[in-house]
Amino acid sequence: MSEKHLDPNTVSLDEMRALFRELPGPDLEAGTQAAARETQLTKPRGALGRLEELAAWLATWQGRHPPQMQHPRTAVFAGNHGVAALGVSAYPSEVTAQMVQNFIAGGAAVNQLCRAFDADLRVYEMALEQPTADFTQGPAMTGEECARAMAYGMMAVEPNLDVLCLGEMGIGNTTSAAALACALFGGEPEEWVGRGTGVAGAALETKTRVVREGVERHRGSGDPLDLLAALGGLELAAIAGAVLAARLARTPVVLDGFACTVAASVLWKIDPKALEHCIVGHRSVEPGHTRLLEAIGKEPLFDFGMRLGEGSGATLAIGVLKAAVECHGGMATFADAGVSGPA
């Protein structure tokens, strides 16, 4: 499969919509080979549980058997949000750019996780001095801006990636994500709003009100991509683009926490099959994440009480994926080891 890159100067949301007509499916032959090998390995059938499923999932989306984990990448997209000026985050907007510098200097949590698992970290800074518009007053982005951000995100998908882990950095983005999730999946703003960086009290009430105003203004204003433009952010649109491009290139994807999963769920709303190549690394503490995971039918790999974002939960999953690949490829078969099979 080839990498899909679109011209950012001319790209449109309609061009993105057209891509849903060509989504490739999994490589079922690689999956059959993985299942056959699994029965030969020196362990009771199914005894490695989800590790076995992960090896098969990697094989089907990498389109090869055995699956490999030599080249994991974590892509973190950073953008700023107009709604941040309304007091919805515990931190000021400047932290977005400051954290990008921290990523570049190697000082953030995601840097350490990438080093722990030999992942290639890419940071994509998206016009941080130009935040999106305040979505309580109008759409956060025009359709063209949203499509351009998606096209930018697509560039994170390059040949020979074994897995793509996605993350975001954008002060205010759990407000944007809550509004987008509420508009896409329904329910009350209270069910989607969490503490993010740690908002409480009056600020939490403000955050909930901002989400309500945004949803009331934009709900029903179009299809999921229109809602992404109206309520999303540059980094969330880039994640949606990266997930779509990864699918077209048949690259497996690991999603991170609430904000990242909301961005990807825009594609699920268009076609639930569009996230078959994605797993979710962890369950974020953000209550909306659990709600969203139920809606899209995904069970995260682990629940470590993390609520950071920046791709940390997705990157931590690389360790588990490497373990799955090592067991699947490296274990002896019953025949090789002279171990008796089931009686």
Ligand X SMILES: Cc1cc2ncn([C@H]3O[C@H](COP(=O)(O)O)[C@@H](O)[C@H]3O)c2cc1C
Ligand Y SMILES: O=C(O)c1cccnc1
Question: Both tokens of residue 1?
Answer: 């499969």
Q: Which of 27, 310, 318, 322 binds ligand X (CB under 6 A)?
A: 310
Q: Is 183 helix (H, G, I), strand (E, B) or coil?
A: helix
| Number of chain positions touching ligand X (CB under 6 A) | 19
Residue list 197-256, contact with ligand Y (CB under 6 A): 197
Q: Which of the following is catalytic: 213, 299, 310, 326?
A: 310
Compare residues 69 and 199 and give the one whose CB is closer to ligand X: 199
> Considering the complex, what minimum distance in angstroms separates the CB of residue 143 from ligand Y?
25
Contacts of 105 (CB under 8 A, 6+ apart): none
Question: Both tokens of residue 266?
Answer: 């825009």
Q: Which of 74, 80, 174, 265 binds ligand Y (CB under 6 A)?
A: 174
- Out of ligand X, ligand Y, none, what residue 171 binds, judged by CB under 5 to 8 A for its kind, is ligand X
Dihedrals phi, psi of 280, to nearest 5 degrees: -110, 125
- Out of ligand Y, ligand X, none, what residue 252 binds, judged by CB under 5 to 8 A for its kind, is none
Is residue 27 within 8 Å of residue 58, measured between CB atoms? Answer: no
Compare residues 143 and 309 and give the one whose CB is closer to ligand Y: 309
Compare residues 67 and 170 and give the one whose CB is closer to ligand Y: 170
251 lines the binding site for ligand X (CB under 6 A)? no
- Out of ligand X, ligand Y, none, what residue 257 binds, judged by CB under 5 to 8 A for its kind, is ligand Y
CA distances, 59 to each of 37, 51, 175, 255 (Å): 12, 12, 36, 18
CA distances, 290 to each of 22, 160, 198, 199, 211 (Å): 30, 32, 18, 19, 18
Compare residues 93 and 284 and give the one whose CB is closer to ligand Y: 284
Q: Which of 67, 143, 288, 309 binds ligand X (CB under 6 A)?
A: 309
307 lines the binding site for ligand Y (CB under 6 A)? yes
> Considering the complex, what minimum distance in angstroms separates the CB of residue 11 from ligand Y?
26
3-state helix, strand, coil in the chain (%, to 5): 55, 10, 40
Compare residues 110 and 161 and give the one whose CB is closer to ligand X: 110
Is residue 252 within 8 Å of residue 67, measured between CB atoms? Answer: no
261 lines the binding site for ligand X (CB under 6 A)? no
What's 256's DSSP letter?
-
Residue list 94-113, contact with ligand X (CB under 6 A): 95, 99
276 annotated active-site: no
CA distances, 134 to each of 82, 130, 139 (Å): 4, 12, 7
Contacts of 330 (CB under 8 A, 6+ apart): none
Is residue 246 within 8 Å of residue 252, measured between CB atoms? Answer: yes
CA distances, 75 to each of 267, 294, 334 (Å): 18, 25, 40
Instruction: Give the CB-nearest residue to ligand Y.
Output: 257
103 lines the binding site for ligand Y (CB under 6 A)? no
Q: Which of 74, 136, 175, 284 binds ligand X (CB under 6 A)?
A: 175
288 lines the binding site for ligand X (CB under 6 A)? no
Q: Which stretch binds ligand X (CB under 6 A): 8-16, 154-162, 194-202, 213-221?
A: 194-202
Please name the residue that has the structure tokens 């020979």: 160
Element (H, E) at 125: strand 120-125
Q: Which of 74, 251, 284, 312 binds ligand Y (CB under 6 A)?
A: 284
Q: Which residues bind ligand X (CB under 6 A)?
A: 89-91, 95, 99, 168-175, 196-197, 199, 308-310
Known catalytic residues are 310
Q: Which residues bind ligand Y (CB under 6 A)?
A: 174, 196-197, 257-260, 284, 286, 289, 307, 309
